[in-house]
Amino acid sequence: MNTQPLLEVQNLSLNRDGRAILQNVNLRVYPGQVHALLGINGSGKSSLAYALMGCAGYQPDSGRIWFDGQEITGLPIDERARLGLTLAWQEPARFEGLPVGSYLSLGMDRPHDAALSKTDRERVQAALAAVNMPAKTYLRRSVDATLSGGERKRIELAAVYAMRPRLAILDEPDSGIDTLSLDDIRALLRRMAQNGTAVLLITHRDEMAAAADMASIMCLGTILFTGETTAAQAFYRNGCQPHLAALGEQPWNGVIQPIKELAR
Amino acid sequence: MNAVTAVPTPSVLHGRGAAPPVWANDLDSLMEAYRQAGGDPEAIRQANVATLVVSGSQVLMAHDIAGLRFEAEELPQGVKARIIVAPGVTIERLVHLCFGLLPAQGRQEIIASYEIGAGAKVAFLAHCTFPNAVQVEHVMDADIHVGAGATMKYTESHYHGENGGIRVIPKTRVDVGENGRFHTTFSLSHGRVGYMAIDYELDVAAGGVAELTTKVYGHADDDVHVREVVRLNGRDARGLTKTRVAVRDRAHSAIHTVTEGNAAGAVGHMDCTEIVRDQAEAQNMPIVLVRNDEARVTHEAAIGSVSKKELETLMSRGLDEDEAVDVIIRGMFN
């Protein structure tokens, strides 16, 4: 493994509306690695994704974020993206009148308003094929409400795949997908990694983490555990014991039972 | 007044080796402006395509085809035209209309009447180009009659140049007959708008359908006014107004849509999205008027800046904020 992390998060904390959303988060993702971030709903996974991407309202109160040795804590979203960091959104946005083909090509290294070259078109088609979507059916359709949530979700994954970023944060890629199986998604993750894209895979399903090289467990806005995937899966299935028990009854009480139920 | 019917194109004349007529330069210039505005001049010059081309007060082309006839008269400051589609006829190819004024100053008045016979089907593609406008006024007064069971599609694209020195005032009255269908799309998304006041009034008879889509992008000190009134007068008549306006810099837009449900089973909907940037200002005034307890009219309006989520999604692909807004607005106008 490359010893220099591509992404490094140091003691990141974030408060919103007077509530601690992230607390001293520390995380490292290495080049070409699939790193799973496991946690139940509300544990702070998506908030961490937004903070890493630099979204409005998610500027950290303290801590630092480094990408390929450069501090990006204060950079706007587009500058982070141009460094090679992107996010596949859990609930993708809708774009009235924007054709799928154009949407997929936006992240490619080309003027966004230029006509697609033959190579660009092939790259877009390959991205659609990677998420089992026939180019003929979808290229000209708009990324709008006429597509189902599952279709938009797959197009979001295809857009990230077409972009070929250095690090892709995939926020719950397995939720709401209609025809892609977990095996398909895992294969997609591995293919991205083989193509040189590191992946931070956000999920609440421990079986999704099987595609990962490393995994971290997130709970109540902090990372409880980072290690080999199988160890992280066991930790997660065990309701994050004994760490949670050691932390005391409050405020973790309400979290332990749902994790156990999820793991059953 | 000169009555004008079919006129050969300059390119045809040139091809025969004849000296080009005086108006040929105007036509070629207008065609170039038409091309720049997104039109296809070659499509206009095909023998089986009905075409009307007006530059200022001159009718440069009025090319009839079987089932469709133009009657055009030149007026001191414009043109009066009748477009007649025979009952039961289906016009297979788009009918091209091109109105324009090439000089930087001037006035053009178009008085048009469209008579679409019962059961006929026809689609128009109209381009209005004023590429050099500095002080130009274009006034259109149109009456449209869509006969019973007929279908008329009218797609109109404007290009007003880059100076903003233009006033465009189109007024249209539409009468949709029983089970007739009228669909129109107006777009002005490149270059300046200047001052524009679109005024549409439609009456829809039983079983008829009227759909109006308006897309305008204003900037600098452009001033956009849209008034659309749809009266659903007949049983089961349906109407939809869809308005997409973006304004930035110091531009102003005022959208005033009215849908009346005047008969049982009438269904109407108004859908307005306005995007505002910089110091621009946007107004929306939807009015729902229902006079029958079995009619239903709804409206939705969204006015404001670009959606944060859409913006951040595009920025996460590496577009800066201006590029992202441009993609969102262009998409809205597609």
List the domains of chain A with CATH numbers.
Answer: 7-263 (3.40.50.300)
- For chain A, list the strands marked E by DSSP: 7-16, 19-29, 34-38, 62-67, 70-71, 85-88, 167-171, 198-203, 214-219, 222-228
Interface touch A82/B318, C-beta < 8 Å? yes
Q: In what order do the strands lie in the sheet with B296-304?
A: B58-63, B51-55, B95-100, B121-129, B151-159, B181-188, B209-218, B238-247, B267-276, B296-304
Q: CA dist B201 to B205, B225, B298, Å? A: 13, 14, 18
Best probe of the B interface among A55, A67, A78, A140, by most B CBs < 10 A, is A78
* Mean residue pLDDT across chain A: 88
More confident residue, B4 or B121: B121
**Residue B276 pLDDT:** 94
**Residue A178 pLDDT:** 66
Interface touch B323/A163, C-beta < 8 Å? no
Asked if pLDDT for residue B11 goes beyond 60, the answer is: no
Q: In what order do the strands lie in the sheet with A198-203?
A: A85-88, A167-171, A198-203, A34-38, A214-219, A222-228
Q: Which tokens in the block code for residue A25?
A: 């988060």
* B22 burial level (CB within 10 Å; 0-12, 13-18, 19+): exposed
Nearest to residue B66, comparing CAs of B44, B43, B45, B95?
B95
**Those residues with Cβ within 8 angstroms of residue A59's Cβ, 6 or more apart along the chain or in another chain:** A14, A51, A74
Q: In what order do the strands lie in the sheet with A70-71?
A: A19-29, A7-16, A62-67, A70-71
What is the C-alpha to C-alpha distance for residues A37 and A28, in angstroms, rounded to an integer? 11
Asked if pLDDT for residue B170 goes beyond 80, the answer is: yes
Asked if pLDDT for residue B39 goes beyond 80, the answer is: no
ipTM at complex level: 0.90
**Those residues with Cβ within 8 angstroms of residue B12's Cβ, 6 or more apart along the chain or in another chain:** B45
What is the C-alpha to C-alpha distance for residues A132 and A151, in angstroms, rounded to an integer? 10
Residue B19 is given by DSSP the state P
Structural domain for B263, as ranges? 3-333
**Residue B59 pLDDT:** 93
Of A93, A97, A113, the CB nearest to B333: A97
**Residue B161 pLDDT:** 84
pLDDT (tens digit per residue) in A8-18 = 999 999 999 88
Asked if pLDDT for residue A244 goes beyond 70, the answer is: no
Interface touch A95/B317, C-beta < 8 Å? no
Interface touch B313/A76, C-beta < 8 Å? no
Interface touch B313/A89, C-beta < 8 Å? yes
Mean pLDDT of B37-60: 85
Percent of chain A exceeding pLDDT 90 equals: 67
- Residue A96 phi/psi, 5-degree rounding, is -60, 130
Mean pLDDT of A105-127: 86
* B301 burial level (CB within 10 Å; 0-12, 13-18, 19+): middle
* Residue numbers in A near B317 (CB within 8 A): 81, 86, 106-107, 159, 163
CA B79 from chain centre, in angstroms, equals 17
Asked if pLDDT for residue B141 goes beyond 50, the answer is: yes
pLDDT (tens digit per residue) in A75-100 = 999 999 999 999 999 999 999 999 99
Mean pLDDT of B161-190: 94
Rounded to a whole number of angstroms, the distance from the CA of B37 to the nearest CA of chain A is 17
Interface touch B317/A76, C-beta < 8 Å? no
What are B's interface residues with A at a Cβ cutoff of 8 A? 273, 307-310, 312-321, 323-324, 326-328, 330-334
* Residue numbers in B near A77 (CB within 8 A): 312, 315-316
**Residue A251 pLDDT:** 42
**Residue B206 pLDDT:** 98
* Mean residue pLDDT across chain B: 89
What is the C-alpha to C-alpha distance for residues B202 and B289, in angstroms, rounded to an integer? 14
Q: Which amino acid is at B210?
A: A
Q: Which amino acid is at A253?
A: N
**Residue B7 pLDDT:** 42
Best probe of the B interface among A80, A95, A140, by most B CBs < 10 A, is A95
Best probe of the A interface among B316, B319, B330, B334, by most A CBs < 10 A, is B316
The residue count of chain B comes to: 334
Asked if pLDDT for residue B19 goes beyond 50, the answer is: no
**Residue B5 pLDDT:** 43
Asked if pLDDT for residue B68 goes beyond 50, the answer is: yes
**Residue B12 pLDDT:** 35
**Residue A247 pLDDT:** 52
Best probe of the A interface among B309, B312, B317, by most A CBs < 10 A, is B317
Q: Is A118 helix (H, G, I), strand (E, B) or coil?
A: helix
Range from A66-70, A137-141, A208-212 carrying the lowest mean pLDDT: A208-212
Interface touch A77/B316, C-beta < 8 Å? yes
More confident residue, A43 or A182: A43
Radius of gyration of chain B measured on its C-alpha atoms: 21
* Residue numbers in B near A101 (CB within 8 A): none
Interface touch A53/B317, C-beta < 8 Å? no
**Those residues with Cβ within 8 angstroms of residue A122's Cβ, 6 or more apart along the chain or in another chain:** none
More confident residue, A112 or B142: B142
Q: Which tokens in the block code for residue A59?
A: 């500027």
* Confidence band for A176, pLDDT divided at 50, 70 and 90: confident
Q: Is B321 helix (H, G, I), strand (E, B) or coil?
A: helix
Task: Evaluate whether B186 touches B198 at the Cβ level (below 8 Å).
Answer: yes
Percent of chain A exceeding pLDDT 70 equals: 88
Look at chain B and report how many structural domains it folds into: 1
Asked if pLDDT for residue A2 goes beyond 70, the answer is: no
**Residue B15 pLDDT:** 33
pLDDT (tens digit per residue) in A199-224 = 999 998 888 888 899 999 998 899 98
Rounded to a whole number of angstroms, the distance from the CA of B129 to the nearest CA of chain A is 24
Strand partners, B121: B90, B151
Radius of gyration of chain A measured on its C-alpha atoms: 18
Query: Element (H or E) spanning B325, and its range?
Result: helix B321-333
Interface touch B315/A98, C-beta < 8 Å? no
